[in-house]
C-alpha cells in the first residue's frame, strides 16, 4: 500500500506522520506545518489491527488509523510533557477553563452554557480532548482535532486558569478541592501511554498540573445559573 506523509504540529510538538489513508491528512488539516519536525510516527497495518481488536472491528480502517495515530502520538508526546485530557476547554479573557467528567455527565453542555451566557466573550478551544503542556512553569491548554461529535475546536492555546469536575445535581453548588482529591478525577480522564516509562511521565505531568492550577467540584443542573456560578467562582468576575 502507498504511504502518505503528513507534517503537523500539536501543542508545539512537530510530527511527521507516515500513514496509509489520505483521510488522515484531511483530519489534520488545521494543524499542518512546513517546519522541520521533532519526531516521526509510522502507522502500520499492525497498529490498525490493534485498534480493530479494541473496537470489535466496527469502524472502518481509516478511522482506526486516526485512533492509532492518537495513541502513538500520546506515547511519544509524554516525553515532552504533553498529555491529552478528556475535557471541554473554554477560553474567556485569554484564559482557559477546563470542565471534565465521565462521558454523558454534561461537560459539553456546560461549556455551551458558558457560550450562551457570555456570548462572544467565550470561545471553545476544544470540546472533548485538548492537549495540555507546561511552558516555563505555565500550564497551557491546546486545541486538537480530536474534538468530539460536535467538532468544536480551533488551533490555538491559552493558559489554564482552572479545572472544574462536574457531577449532576438538582441544586447548583461549587467548592474548591485539593490536589489529592482532584487526582482521582483527573487521572481517569487522561489518555495514558501503554508503555511504562511514558505512562510515568504522563502521570508526572498530571500531578504537576493539579498542584499548579485552582481545582473545583461543581454539582450542577442544566441551567444558566449553573454556568453563572462556575464562571463567577472560577474567574472572580461578576455578570
pLDDT in tens, 52-75: 998 877 899 999 999 999 999 999
Are 101 and 45 part of one and the same domain? no
Q: What whole-number distance in Å separates Cα of residue 66 and Cα of residue 46?
A: 14
Q: Is the pLDDT of residue 2 over 90?
A: no
128's grid cell: 472533548
Query: What is the per-residue pLDDT for 69?
Result: 97
Q: Which of 65, 80, 95 is the last residue of a domain?
A: 80
Q: What whole-number distance in Å separates Cα of residue 12 and Cα of residue 237?
A: 31
- Give the model confidence (pLDDT) of 210-223 as tens digits: 999 999 999 999 89
Are 30 and 126 part of one and the same domain? no
Please state, rounded to an integer, the average pLDDT across all residues of the chain. Answer: 94
Q: Which of 32, 64, 80 is the last residue of a domain?
A: 80
- Give the model confidence (pLDDT) of 179-202 as tens digits: 999 999 999 999 999 999 999 999
Are 115 and 220 part of one and the same domain? yes
C-beta atoms surrounding 179 within 10 Å: 14
Are 25 and 38 part of one and the same domain? yes
Q: The domain containing residue 178 runs over which residues?
A: 83-235
Q: What whole-number distance in Å separates Cα of residue 130 and Cα of residue 141?
A: 6
Residue found under cell 506545518:
33
Are 175 and 131 part of one and the same domain? yes
Are 105 and 59 part of one and the same domain? no
- Give the model confidence (pLDDT) of 136-194 as tens digits: 999 999 999 999 888 889 999 999 999 999 999 999 999 999 999 999 999 999 999 99
Residues in the chain: 239
Are 107 and 22 part of one and the same domain? no
- Band of residue 1 on the pLDDT scale cut at 50, 70, 90: low
Measure Cα distances from 134 to 42, 137, 140, 231 in Å: 26, 6, 6, 24
Q: Which of 30, 53, 80 is the last residue of a domain?
A: 80
220's grid cell: 450542577
Q: Could you give the number of structural domains in the chain? A: 2
Q: Which residues of 92-103 are buried (b: 16+ CB within 10 A; e: fewer)?
A: beeebbbbbbee
C-beta atoms surrounding 198 within 10 Å: 17
pTM comes to 0.94
* CATH (domain of 136): 3.90.228.20
Mean pLDDT for 204-210 is 97
Are 46 and 148 part of one and the same domain? no
89's grid cell: 476547554
Amino acid at each position: 500500500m502507498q504511504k502518505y506523509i503528513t507534517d503537523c504540529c500539536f501543542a508545539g510538538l512537530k510530527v511527521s506522520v507516515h500513514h496509509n489513508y489520505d483521510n488522515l491528512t484531511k483530519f489534520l488539516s488545521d494543524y499542518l506545518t512546513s517546519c522541520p519536525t521533532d519526531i516521526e510516527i509510522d502507522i502500520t497495518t499492525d497498529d490498525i489491527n490493534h485498534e480493530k481488536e479494541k473496537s470489535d472491528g466496527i469502524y472502518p480502517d481509516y478511522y482506526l488509523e486516526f485512533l492509532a495515530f492518537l495513541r502513538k502520538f500520546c506515547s511519544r508526546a509524554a516525553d515532552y510533557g504533553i498529555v491529552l485530557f478528556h475535557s471541554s476547554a473554554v477560553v474567556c479573557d485569554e484564559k482557559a477553563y477546563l470542565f471534565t467528567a465521565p462521558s454523558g455527565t454534561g461537560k459539553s453542555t456546560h461549556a455551551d452554557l458558558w457560550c450562551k451566557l457570555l456570548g462572544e466573550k467565550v470561545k471553545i478551544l476544544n470540546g472533548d480532548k485538548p492537549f495540555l503542556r507546561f511552558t516555563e512553569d505555565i500550564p497551557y491548554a491546546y486545541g486538537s482535532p480530536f474534538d468530539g461529535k460536535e467538532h468544536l475546536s480551533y488551533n490555538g492555546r491559552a493558559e489554564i486558569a482552572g479545572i472544574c469536575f462536574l457531577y449532576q445535581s438538582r441544586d447548583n453548588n461549587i467548592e474548591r478541592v485539593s490536589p489529592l482529591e482532584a487526582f482521582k478525577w483527573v487521572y481517569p480522564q487522561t489518555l495514558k501511554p501503554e508503555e511504562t516509562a511514558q505512562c510515568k511521565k504522563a502521570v508526572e505531568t498530571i500531578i504537576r498540573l493539579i498542584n499548579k492550577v485552582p481545582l473545583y467540584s461543581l454539582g450542577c443542573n442544566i441551567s444558566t445559573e449553573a454556568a453563572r456560578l462556575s464562571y463567577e467562582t472560577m474567574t472572580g468576575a461578576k455578570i
